[in-house]
Amino acid sequence: MELVVQFQVLNQSCQCLAWKPRPVIAWGAESQHVVAGYSDGTIRMFSISRTEMELKMHPHAVALTAITYSTDGEMILSGGKDGLVAISSPRTGMTIRVLTDHKGSPITVLQCTGKQYRDFGVEGSELWLATSLDRRVSVWASDWLKDKCELLDWLSFPAPAGPEGLSSLPPSLAAFCPWEPGTLVYVGFGMQKEALFYSLRKKQVVEKISLPYFATSLSLSPAAHFMAVGFGERLLRLLRCPGGGEARDHAGEAQDRAGHDDAVHLCRFAPSGRRLLTASHSAVLVWELPGG
């Protein structure tokens, strides 16, 4: 529990960051890279092992709000406050594609997953999704080396009319479900306080899980059927979700955990699934999972 490396960028705030996926064949320090998005529209890639910035790109004209690597680590996907999504190469520093489908609403989530594209009859090497604050989710199949990017599905979730602006509403969040290929989970401001499981094959919501409040953060365990949901009411809920062969009447047990001093704005499972990291305004908590 000590600070190992620190990078500082003057006069800019870091809005989002992502670790580069480790290559399958190596577990060396050379693969330890972090990419970060900043308030001036720039992206910086840092080498942890060399403790230096290796690359700076400027694909956005406004602040970044989401960033991730492709599953093979060969591309960087970034989203801005204006809703534009850029795909950039960390090898060349060039932006190879800009998608405007979410234009006008800040990107809240970008996530890539391994190849499931054959299930849907499209070409590509991975699936990825983009979520924007206006409750829209787009799902894409892509092969960046062949310059292919095809829209697979487009979701818009209804919500009651409210006097408040988008910025004051709970975020729109989506994630691919690790234990159910071809399914994504969505939470956001809507008609009901719930988590929705949407099947890309059936093109419909196949499961709904009621929540006590509108969610402010979401994470799905890569190792077990667990979902963590954070709320603005300083509450963390851990849900055991039913799998494909289990009854879907309602989710399994829900465990509520207090301890945060403010809205739980970040939930993140460790790759092993045994620990969960959550963050609020001035606290970062690490939880041991049942049976972990």
Residue 165 lies in a domain: yes
Residue 232 lies in a domain: yes
Q: Environment class of residue 173 by beta-carbon count within 10 Å: exposed (0-12), middle (13-18) or buried (19+)?
A: buried
Residue 125 lies in a domain: no
Q: What local confidence, expressed as pLDDT, does residue 247 receive?
A: 42
Q: What are phi and psi of 16, to 5 degrees?
A: -165, 155
Cβ-proximal residues to 122 (8 Å cutoff; 6+ apart), any chain: 141, 150, 152
Closest CA to 106 of 136, 128, 77, 129: 136
Residue 237 lies in a domain: yes
Name residue, tokens 């900043």. Answer: 38
Residue 204 lies in a domain: yes
Residue 107 lies in a domain: no
Q: How far apart are CA 231 and CA 96, in angstroms?
A: 37
**Which three-class secondary structure state does DSSP give residue 149?**
strand
CA trace torsion 169, 44, 60, 39 (10° rounding): 40
Please give the model's pTM, rounded to 2 decimal places.
0.90
Residue 19 lies in a domain: no
Per-residue pLDDT of the chain (292 residues; tens, 9 = 90+): 788 889 999 999 999 999 999 765 545 445 589 999 999 999 999 998 889 999 999 999 999 999 999 999 999 999 999 999 999 999 999 999 999 999 999 999 999 998 655 567 777 789 999 999 999 999 999 998 888 999 999 999 998 876 565 567 899 999 999 999 899 999 999 999 999 999 999 999 999 999 999 999 999 999 989 999 999 999 999 999 876 544 444 445 789 998 898 999 999 999 889 999 999 998 999 999 876 4
CATH of residue 184's domain is 2.130.10.10
Closest CA to 184 of 166, 163, 200: 200
Residue 172 structural domain: 157-291
Q: How far apart are CA 73 and CA 71, in angstroms?
A: 6
Phi/psi region, residue 200 (left: phi>0; alpha: psi -120 to 50; beta: rest), is alpha
Number of independent structural domains in the chain: 1
Residue 178 lies in a domain: yes
